[in-house]
Amino acid sequence: MGTSDAALVRRVRAGDTDAYADLVARYRDRLGRYALHMLGNREDAEEALQDAFVRAYRSLARCEDPERFGAWLYGILVNRCRTTGARVARRARRFVHDPAALETTSLPGPADQTEWDDVVRWALARLAPESREAFLLKHVEELEYEDIAQLTGAGVSALKMRVKRAREQLQAILREAEHV
Amino acid sequence: MFDQFDDAVERVVRHLRRPVSIDPALDQRVMQKIAALPPPSRGVWRWLTARREVALSPLGALGIAAAVAAAFIGVWRMRVTPPPASAPDSALHGFQFVLVEPRAVKVSLVGDFNDWDATRTPMHRTSRDGLWSAVVSLQPGRYRYAFLIDGRHWLADPAAPTAGDDDYGAPSSVVTVGGGGS
């Protein structure tokens, strides 16, 4: 069995910077999946992920429960993805939840989708950011609503509504894309 | 879990749950960045967030409430010394943070620029009226900060914008240092 998160956090706090590399390697892919699906492209995802790791290191003293380092790090990443997503939206790229903008976006249309992966990314990108966030945390990362509420600051009822809305929108989008 | 869940949406979920591989070079980039940072310090944050039991009489509680209210009323902040107009973007700018807190025995400025370490930027009392001041050299950028009163009261600047992207729940303020001013 490997070294626990708490033990690694204690080593980093004691000055063993190299121990942080183990935490980064441990969480890189796991958190990277969320960032990639949330932001829709690898470049932005890696930027948000890198920023989250650096911020977590700088604030490691404020991690109250080292046993739950992963959950704490998740919260930081969710915030970084929101920030990056907002910046991406300001650049008027694909994740603007604006029907008019979507009409003129450079995203490939359903008729051009030959790969299921493209279809999924296309469908996710059409969800409102808060719906996409809730949907991914609940159904892909498989977190409990109470944990998602802590990460996002939203109430459980609001989160359930967002997830429900995301499911309905995905159904409609996929039906529209004639992949259903 | 997928009550009335459309098969296609379930298929999307299965697809999204597949493991993702992020470039391991990211680890090196992270470690290079943190190599330039001071090691995370636990002392101040542990003290600030430690659970304490305090016994108070009703009169004592009223007194403390009045003192806290007076402190907030008496506190305001800061005018920052603008940087020279001709300073290049990468130049350090001397920022003066000012706080009026007549009741404080000591005040520290903590923020992103000093790794939230209360020992690194003590503020100095500059007048009998309780004016506290500290000058910090900052490169252009966005910084979160707060005041630490008497080593125990965490105070976001009521006269400055609240940091909306605080990741950790503690209130803090934000100042943006531009190449040509704040």
Residue B33 contacts A where some CB pair is shorter than 8 Å: yes
Domain assignment of residue B75, yes or no: yes
Domain assignment of residue B9, yes or no: no
Low-confidence winner among A51-65, A154-168, B15-29, B136-150 (lowest mean pLDDT): B136-150
Query: Chain B neighbours among A 147-176 (CB < 8 Å)?
Result: 167, 170-171, 174-175
Question: Could you tell me which of A66, A152, A8, A160 has the C-alpha nearest to residue B169?
Answer: A152
Range of the domain at B64: 46-177
The crossing angle, in degrees rounded to 10, of helices A18-39 and A69-90 is 40
Residue B74 has pLDDT above 60, yes or no: no
* Separation of alpha carbons A88 and A4, rounded Å: 36
Residue A27 has pLDDT above 90, yes or no: yes
Hey, are the CB atoms on A83 and B45 less than 8 Å from each other?
A: no
A72: domain CATH number is 1.10.1740.10
Q: Are residues A100 and A86 in the same domain?
A: no
Burial class (CB in 10 A: 0-12, 13-18, 19+), B138: buried
Q: Are residues A80 and A121 in the same domain?
A: no
Domain boundary residue, one of A26, A60, A91: A91
Check: complex ipTM more than 0.85: no
Hey, are the CB atoms on A62 and B23 less than 8 Å from each other?
A: no
The SS3 assignment for A89 reads: helix
Q: Are residues A129 and A76 in the same domain?
A: no
For chain B, how big is the Rg over CA atoms in Å?
Answer: 23
Domain assignment of residue B26, yes or no: no
The CB density around residue B42, as the number of other CB atoms within 10 Å, is 15
pTM of the model: 0.58
Domain assignment of residue B38, yes or no: no
Question: Could you tell me which of A51, A57, A59, A105 has the C-alpha nearest to residue A82?
Answer: A51
Average pLDDT, chain A: 84
Domain assignment of residue B39, yes or no: no
Residue B110 has pLDDT above 90, yes or no: no
- Which residues partner with B132 through β-bridges? B99, B125
Q: Are A128 and A161 in contact (CB under 8 A)?
A: no
Instruction: Give chain A's domain count.
Output: 2
Q: What is the pLDDT of residues B33-54, one digit of tens each?
A: 998 888 776 555 555 555 555 5
B142: domain CATH number is 2.60.40.10
Hey, are the CB atoms on B30 and A123 less than 8 Å from each other?
A: no
Of the partner residues B13, B21, B37, the one whose CB lies closest to the CB of residue A57: B37
**What's residue A175's pLDDT?**
85
Residue A50 has pLDDT above 70, yes or no: yes
Q: Are residues A86 and A99 in the same domain?
A: no
How far does the CA of residue A173 sit from the closest CA of chain B (Å)?
10
Residue A75 contacts B where some CB pair is shorter than 8 Å: yes
**What's residue A139's pLDDT?**
95
Instruction: Give chain B's domain count.
Output: 1
Domain boundary residue, one of A30, A63, A91: A91
Range of the domain at A147: 95-180
* Separation of alpha carbons A155 and B128, rounded Å: 47
Q: Are residues A68 and A144 in the same domain?
A: no
A133: domain CATH number is 1.10.10.10
Phi first, then psi, for residue B148 (nearest 5°) are -115, 110
Of the partner residues A12, A37, A45, the one whose CB lies closest to the CB of residue B40: A12
DSSP state of A106: -
Q: What is the largest CA-CA distance in chain B?
A: 73
Percent of chain B with pLDDT over 90: 14
DSSP state of B105: S
Domain assignment of residue B113, yes or no: yes
Domain assignment of residue B16, yes or no: no
Domain boundary residue, one of A91, A108, A138: A91
Q: What is the pLDDT of residues A118-140, one digit of tens each?
A: 889 989 999 999 999 999 999 99
Average pLDDT, chain B: 72
* pLDDT average, residue stretch B3-27: 85
